[in-house]
Amino acid sequence: MNMVLKIGLVLVLMMVLPCLGNPIPPYQIGLIKASPPQVGIINYYSSDIDVSGMTIVTSRGIATIDSGTIIPRNWPSGKPYILDSTNTSGLAFNQKGDSIIANLLPYYSNEIKFGQLGTTPVPIDGYALLFYPDPLYLYWGYISFDFARPNYGYTSVLINEVNAGSTWDRCGNFIELYNKSAVPISLNGWRLVCDTIYDFPANAIIPAHGYYVVDECDFPTKFHMNFDGDNLYLINHDTLVDQVGWSSDHGANVSFMRYPDGDVDTSIWIGMDFIGFDDNSSTSFENGFPSRGAANRHENPGFVVIAARADSTGLNAARLTWTNPIWDPNIAAAVVVRSTNGFVNNPPEGEVIYEGRGQIYIDPNLAFNQVYYYTIFARKYDNNYSIPTSESQTSIILHSAGIAENSNLPTDFHISCYPNPFNARTLITFTLPVSERARVAIYDVAGRLVDIAADRAFEAGQNSVLWDAVNRPSGVYFYSIKTDTGSQAKTVVLMK
C-alpha cells in the first residue's frame, strides 16, 4: 500500500467512525478452537438469538446449526456461546488458514479470517483464540491467542529473518530476532508460535543492536515452518507483539527478511508492519541471502563464511556459531581451524577441530588465560577453500589476569558494547541492579590494563560509557565492569 493510499484511508476512517457512533453489532465471533473445531459467539443483542438452521461457512463447507439452538445474551459478563459438533453439523475448517463466516441472522453476518487469509493468528492445539475488544471501540478489536493479548509493534525485539527452505542441513532452517534498542534484553518468558509453542531459555539474552538465532534443531516437537507458506508469531510474556507470514515458496536457501535489520514503517500506525500474514501483508520483509546472526543483505556475499561468533558456555568451553555460504551449490563442508598464534589464512596453518555440514560446534576443555583464534572456512567439492574475512574469524579468552568472560554478577546485570567490531569508538552499556561504584576498564589480550573508561558512582539501571580507542592499535580487547558485587568482561574487536 503506497503512502498516499495509506493517508487517504486514515482520513476516511477519521471522518466515518464518529458518524457511525461506534455501532453495536448484534453478535461477534469471540472464540475459535482448532481441535475439536469450535466457534464461540458473543451475543450483544438485547435478547436471546434463535439460530436454528442458521449456518457457519468455511472453506470446508457449510455447517448447519441444529434446531432449537438458542444463544443467550452473554455480554458483557458471560462467556462466548460454543458452537461445535454437539449442536452444529459439519463444522470444520483449514487450521493453516481459513475464513469463518457466521450467518446467524438474516440481515447480518460476521467473518473472521485467520492464518494465511488474515491478521488473526492460527489456532494451535490445546489453546483457543479469544476476542480482545479495542479500548476505544469496545465492540471491535482483535482475536488472538488466549495466552497473549495483541499489542502489535510495541517491542524493541522483533522477527528479523526467517529461513524455511534450507536444503543444506537437517537443522538448516532458522528464525532470527533483532534487538533495535541500545541495551541487552532478557528473552526469559518470550515465546515463538508456529503450530506449537517454543519457549526461550531462561538465560537467553539478545544483545543491544544484536541478534538471537533459534535453529531448527532447537525447535520443539510439532514446531514446523512450511517452506511454501506459514505464519510465525512473537510473544513477549502475555503480549503478541510481532508476526510474519509467507504464502509462497521463496526458493531453496533463500531467507525472508527485514532489510535493513529491524526495518519497519510506523508512519501511519506503529503496528502497521507487525501484522503480516502472507507475502503481500508482510510489507517490510523481502528475499535475501541467509544472514543468520549477521546483518541482513541483498547482495551475494560470495563464497565466504559469515557471522562467526564464539561465546563462553561457562564450562571451560566455547560455543562457536557461523553461517555457511549455502547459497553456493559448490559448498561441500565447513572447516573450523583453531590457533593460539592469531588468525590463519589457510587450514594447514592451524588445528582443524571440526569439518562437516553443521553451523554450531562446542570446543571443549579450553585452558584459562589463553586466547583462542578461530577461522571458519567453506570447502568446495574440488577442495578449494574460501578466503577468510573478518566475518569468518572470531576469538575468545576464558580467563586473563583475573578477568573472565563468565560472570559472578547478579543475573539482572547485563553488559554489551556497540558497535562490535568497531573502528575508533564504541559505546559500552551495562545495567546495575543498585546504585554503586563501577570501574569500566579495558585490557589487551595479554591481560595488561590499557585504559580506564570510567571509575565512579553510577545509578541503578542502564548506564553507558564511551571508549575512545582512536589511538589504540587494531586487535582483540576485553572490556570489564567491576563493582563491589562482582565483575564481568567480554571481548571487543578494534578494526582500523
Q: pLDDT tens digits for 238-250? A: 999 999 999 999 9
Q: According to DSSP H, which parts of 182-314 are helical?
A: none
- At residue 408, the pLDDT reads 40
* Phi, psi at 314, each rounded to 5°: 85, 5
Q: pLDDT tens digits for 369-403? A: 788 999 999 999 999 999 999 889 988 887 544 44
- At residue 446, the pLDDT reads 61
Q: The whole model's pTM is what?
A: 0.76
- Side-chain-side CA neighbours of 295 within 13 Å: the count stands at 11
Q: How confident is the model at residue 7 (pLDDT cuts 50, 70, 90)?
A: very low
- At residue 77, the pLDDT reads 80
- Intrachain domains 306-399 and 401-494 with the same fold: yes
Contact in structure between 35 and 10 (CB atoms under 8 Å): no
Query: Which range is most confident: 126-135, 146-155, 413-422, 476-485?
Result: 146-155
- At residue 11, the pLDDT reads 38
User: Is pLDDT above 50 for 20?
Assistant: no
Q: pLDDT tens digits for 21-72? A: 457 889 999 999 988 999 999 999 889 999 999 999 999 999 999 999 999 9
Average pLDDT over residues 463-479: 86
- At residue 315, the pLDDT reads 66
Average pLDDT over residues 267-295: 89
- At residue 270, the pLDDT reads 78
User: Cis omega before residue 36 (within 30°)?
Assistant: yes
- At residue 286, the pLDDT reads 95
Q: For the chain, which residues make up each domain, given as ranges?
A: 27-146, 157-288, 306-399, 401-494
User: Is pLDDT above 50 for 432?
Assistant: yes
CA dist., res. 95 & res. 365, Å (int):
48
User: Is pLDDT above 90 for 274?
Assistant: yes
Q: How confident is the model at residue 425 (pLDDT cuts 50, 70, 90)?
A: confident
User: Is pLDDT above 50 for 99?
Assistant: yes
Nearest residue to 53 via CA among 106, 98, 107: 106
Grid cell in block for residue 455? 571509575
Average pLDDT over residues 257-269: 86
Average pLDDT over residues 121-129: 95
* Phi, psi at 339, each rounded to 5°: -145, 155
Q: pLDDT tens digits for 304-354? A: 999 888 877 766 788 898 999 988 989 999 999 999 998 999 999 999 999
Task: Please give the torsion angle defined by the CA atoms of residues 220, 259, 189 and 307, in that order, rounded to the nearest 10 degrees.
Answer: 70
Q: What is the percentage of the chain residues whose pLDDT exceeds 90? A: 53
Over the chain, what is the mean pLDDT? 87
Q: How confident is the model at residue 89 (pLDDT cuts 50, 70, 90)?
A: very high
- At residue 137, the pLDDT reads 66
Which CATH number applies to 306-399: 3.30.930.10, 3.10.290.10, 2.60.40.10, 3.30.160.20? 2.60.40.10
Q: pLDDT tens digits for 164-180? A: 999 877 788 999 999 99
> Considering only the top CATH level, what class is 401-494?
mainly beta
Average pLDDT over residues 81-92: 97
Grid cell in block for residue 243? 508476526
Secondary structure string (H, E, C) spanning 54-105: CEEEECCEEEEECCCCEECCCCCCCCCEEECCCCEECCCCCCCEEEEEEEEE
Least confident of 3-17, 25-39, 71-85, 117-131: 3-17
Question: Fold for domain 157-288?
Answer: Immunoglobulin-like (2.60.40)
Q: pLDDT tens digits for 438-468? A: 889 888 766 678 888 988 888 888 888 989 8
Which residue reads 578461530 in cell numbers?
A: 374
Higher pLDDT, 458 or 20: 458
What is the DSSP track for 376-400?
EEEEETTS-BPPP-GGGEEEEESEE
Q: What is the percentage of the chain residues whose pLDDT exceeds 70? A: 90
